[in-house]
Structure formats: structure tokens, C-alpha cells
Amino acid sequence: MDHIRIGAKLPVFGPIVHKVHLADAARRAEAAGFESVWVSDHVVMVQQSRTRYPYSEDGAITWDAAAPRFDAIVALTIAATATERVDVGVAILLATLRNPLILAKQLATLDVVSRGRIVIGTGAGWLAEEFEAIGVPFETRGKRLDEWIEIINDVWTGRPQAAEYEHYDVPGGLLSYPTPEHHIPILIGGMSNAAVQRAGRLGDGWLAFQRADDLDGAALRNGYARMKVAATESGRPAGRFIVRLTGPLDAAAAALPELAAVGVEEVIIEVDWLTPDGPERTLERMRKRTA
């Protein structure tokens, strides 16, 4: 089996945030041998949602909406400063809920501080009420994301060009330094055809989502193929292929051969943070499948 990188989902959501210190968890993951650490993002949730959650059969969210959740940029900062070698990513960042100039500055700063280890997964988002609460029209989120990706990459040159987009305006004469330490990969998250096409057209890869105990290998294989076609048509390389896995660890480990067969380069998994050797034991069980 080809080597698959293993990333750890950090404890940034749920009651565990009061039991496990985020910086300690990031250090433990790095010491255990994980190759990346990841946070997640929602700005707000709602008491009762009218929006269908796209990753469950009945459309209902699969977690407690009132559970605490850390801010993604703050959590990235903590993880980046607590570690030295691992990639530090977010899966996924709701980028269009944030001003692109401010977010570009924050991420460039983080990339310099981390010595070039930041990875961004972003997507259009699914919770209409969250967009409404922040004053961003939900219906235009896809087009906004396309524009946001173009703007943020231009800002990262340090001298963004004046441009008028449908949803954003960038004035001329701006300077935005420091520039990132390296090219910050922008992976596109989601399982929809729009997400796959965007990953090929504009992104640096695809960040798919799967339940480990209900893996849809055909969807991953087909999506990856469509991403590569879209990239080729846009004159771009296909980029990275990462899968965020939820569900039981044994199922995640058992899924690795199939994931490798469809071209997955990295998986992000849940980790046992509540026992002293939890990260080590988690990674050992996964690595037995990649030996």
C-alpha cells in the first residue's frame, strides 16, 4: 500500500474542550507521529435549523448544536505555535463569512509564524441561518467563494491588484505584508459536484468527507476523476486528495486500503485525547494498516 499521511482532528468542539488543553493536544499529536493536525469551523449554530445537513440520511445534524466550539483562526494559532513540524490545517473554513483582506492577513501571519505549515480547507457552507446571522447572502455563497479564492491568492503576493468583483471590491495601491512563508494550499471541501469542480478549477486539491463505517469508494473515485478533468481543462495540476473520516477508529483503519486504491493521500481521523497514550495508540492502529 502507498503511504497515506495520517492527520489528527484536534479537540476544538464539544465538552472535551474543557477537559483537554488544545495546545497540549497539538503537541501530543506531533510527538506521537501524526503528520498534520486539524481544527474545524462554525461561527454560530442555531437552536432549530430549517437547513438540511448534507451528511446525514435524514438531514439532521449529528451533534449537539449547543456544544462549545472554538474559533477556527484562534485554534489554528494555538496549534501552530504549540508545534514545530506538523502541517496545521482547518477542515473546513467558512471563508466567505469573513472579509477576504482580513483573513488573508491572518493566514499569512500564521504561515510565517509556523514556518510554512498552514493548510486551508474551505467550502461554500451549508447552514443558511449562519450566513443570515452574519449578514452574508446564502444564495450567493458559491460565487463569493470563487471570488474569495482569487482575491486571497492575489493579496498573498503582497501587492494585490485593483479589482471589482460582483461581491467584493479591492482598491488599488494596497500593500499586505508579510507574504506567506510558502504557497498556502487551499483545498476545497465537500462532496457535491460543485465542490469537486471548484477543487479542480480553483483549488489546490479536494478535501472529501466520509463516514469510515459507511465508506463510498465509488463516490471518492468518481469525484477525484472529475476533479482531475476540471484541473486539466483549467490548465492546472490536480492537487492533493485528502479525506476527513468520522466514525469508529477500527472502521477508519480498515478503510485505508480502499482509500489508497482510489488515490487518497491523507486522512484526518478522530483521536482518543482522554487517555495519556491515546494519540500513540490511535496512530499505531492506523499504521498497522499502512505497513
List domains and CATH numbers for the chain.
Answer: 5-287 (3.20.20.30)
Average the pLDDT over 161-185 and give the result: 97
Round to the nearest angstrom and report the end-to-end CA distance of the chain. 7
- What share of the chain has pLDDT > 70, as a percent? 98
Q: What letter does residue 69 receive in the DSSP assignment?
A: B
Q: Residues 64-81: pLDDT tens digits?
A: 999 999 999 999 999 999
Q: Is the peptide bond before 100 cis (omega within 30 degrees of 0)?
A: no
Q: Is the pLDDT of residue 128 over 70?
A: yes
250 burial level (CB within 10 Å; 0-12, 13-18, 19+): exposed
Q: Is the pLDDT of residue 287 over 90?
A: no
Q: Are 49 and 65 in contact (CB under 8 A)?
A: yes
Average the pLDDT over 13-42 and give the result: 98
What is the per-residue pLDDT for 3? 86
What is the per-residue pLDDT for 18? 98
Q: In this structure, what are the phi and psi dihedrals at residue 100, rounded to the nearest 5 degrees?
A: -65, -35
Q: How many other C-beta atoms lie within 10 A of the C-beta of residue 56?
A: 11
pLDDT band at 215 (very low <50, low <70, confident <90, very high): very high
Average the pLDDT over 93-117 and give the result: 98
Q: Residues 31-56: pLDDT tens digits?
A: 999 999 999 999 999 999 999 999 88
| Distances from the Cα of 72 to the Cα of 23, 107, 279, 280, 283, angstroms | 14, 11, 22, 25, 24
What is the per-residue pLDDT for 290? 55
Its pTM stands at 0.95
What is the per-residue pLDDT for 272? 96
Can you tell me the distance from the alpha carbon of 243 to that of 189, in angstroms, rounded to the nearest whole number? 9
What is the per-residue pLDDT for 291? 52
Alpha helices in 5-163 (DSSP H): 22-32, 72-82, 100-113, 128-134, 141-155
- Rounded to the nearest integer, the mean pLDDT of the chain is 96
Q: Are 167 and 161 in contact (CB under 8 A)?
A: no
